[in-house]
């Protein structure tokens, strides 16, 4: 299974015994109710993965990766387990299927794909939907946390000195430059010094599908990023940084991700901040 699948492909595979479809829609509080939207309409057989619930609730940061055992428990209760082919989709402006994809890969589930164009494209094509909640049998998932592609605050501070990894920020240009204040009052404006800015909207065509690999590579090149050198992605809370990581994966590059992102860096009085364009 490719890491990016079309609506046509998914429609032809629905009902396969090893296929699991997952709605991973997440939005910022006050922007909607993804659970209610899922219950009103979802791709037949899809279960709802609540990204707000599947996080490290012991951390003061908003969306940190959970312990492996918590992730495994939540996925098993959804009927997602070893041997499953998992297709993740969303209906979010933040393209949150990519965050679910990154989590699955981090915890050892390798046969995972994103539905290109998400639920919006599925609905626009008039494809079948179901309502209510899907209930699948509990299935064993062996979660093996592999955090080699996850960066901590200490890693990012060390990188300031070494310059070993290019930092690429997924936030909007106005937040990156500091022209627009951060949504959380306690967090400074700006970006990590030396970072490049690739807002996620640049990675998609008008219909919400990912651009071609060639076009994705050009987006990064236009932002001054050398995709042949190591990259760590960042954003506000680690969610849209996952979109950058997935896009880089599409062009054969394995990027790391700074999980605390600007929620951590921007709130830390000891970290340097920079404003203005890259």
Q: Is residue 162 part of a domain?
A: yes
Residue with tokens 């998609």: 204
Return mean pLDDT, the chain.
96
Question: Is 14 in the same domain as 115?
Answer: yes
For residues 208 and 237, the answer to whether their CB atoms sit within 8 Å is no
Token pair belonging to 149: 């592609």
Token pair belonging to 81: 């387990």
More confident residue, 233 or 138: 233
pLDDT tens per residue across span 67-117: 999 999 999 999 998 999 999 999 999 999 999 999 999 998 889 999 999
The structural domain count of the chain equals 2
Token pair belonging to 56: 């490290």
Q: Is residue 145 part of a domain?
A: no
Share above pLDDT 70 across residues of the chain, in percent, rounded to a whole number = 100
CATH of the domain at 42: 3.40.250.10
Q: Domain range spanning residue 70? A: 4-124
Handedness of CA 240, 244, 249, 251 (dihedral sign): positive
188 vs 105: CA distance, rounded Å: 31
Question: Is 23 in the same domain as 108?
Answer: yes
With cut-offs at 50, 70 and 90, classify the pLDDT of residue 144: confident
Residue 64 confidence (pLDDT):
97
Please state whether the predicted TM-score (pTM) of the whole model is above 0.95.
yes
**How far is CA 169 from its chain centroid?**
13
pLDDT tens per residue across span 216-270: 999 999 999 999 999 999 999 999 999 999 999 999 999 999 999 999 999 999 9
Residues 6+ away with beta carbon under 8 Å from 9: none
Q: Does residue 235 carry a catalytic annotation? A: yes
Of 10, 100, 113, 235, catalytic? 235
Residue 227 confidence (pLDDT):
98
Question: Is 176 in the same domain as 79?
Answer: no
């Amino acid at each position: 299974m490719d890491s990016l699948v079309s609506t046509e492909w998914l429609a032809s595979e629905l009902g396969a015994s090893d296929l699991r479809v997952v709605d991973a829609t997440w939005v910022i509080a006050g922007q909607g109710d993804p659970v209610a939207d899922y219950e009103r309409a979802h791709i037949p057989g899809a279960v709802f993965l609540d990204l707000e619930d599947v996080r490290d609730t012991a951390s003061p940061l908003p969306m940190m990766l959970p312990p492996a055992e918590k992730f495994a428990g939540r996925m098993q209760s959804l009927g997602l387990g070893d041997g499953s082919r998992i297709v993740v989709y969303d209906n979010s402006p933040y393209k949150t299927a990519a965050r679910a994809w990154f989590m699955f890969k981090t915890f050892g589930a390798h046969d995972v794909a994103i539905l290109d164009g998400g639920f919006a494209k599925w609905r626009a094509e008039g494809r079948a939907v179901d309502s209510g909640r899907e209930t699948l049998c509990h299935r064993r998932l062996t979660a093996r946390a592999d955090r080699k592609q996850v960066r901590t605050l200490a890693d990012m501070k060390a990188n300031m000195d070494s310059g070993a990894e290019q930092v690429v920020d997924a936030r909007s240009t106005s937040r990156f430059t500091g022209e627009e204040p951060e949504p959380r009052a306690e967090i400074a404006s700006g970006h990590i010094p030396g970072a490049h800015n690739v807002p996620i909207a640049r990675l998609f065509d008008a219909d919400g599908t990912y651009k071609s690999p060639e076009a994705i590579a050009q987006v990064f090149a236009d932002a001054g990023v050398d995709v042949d050198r190591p990259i760590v992605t960042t954003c506000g809370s680690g969610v849209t940084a996952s979109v950058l990581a997935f896009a880089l994966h599409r062009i054969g590059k394995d990027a790391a991700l700074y999980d605390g992102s600007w929620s951590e860096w921007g709130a830390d009085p000891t970290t340097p901040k920079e404003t203005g364009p890259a």
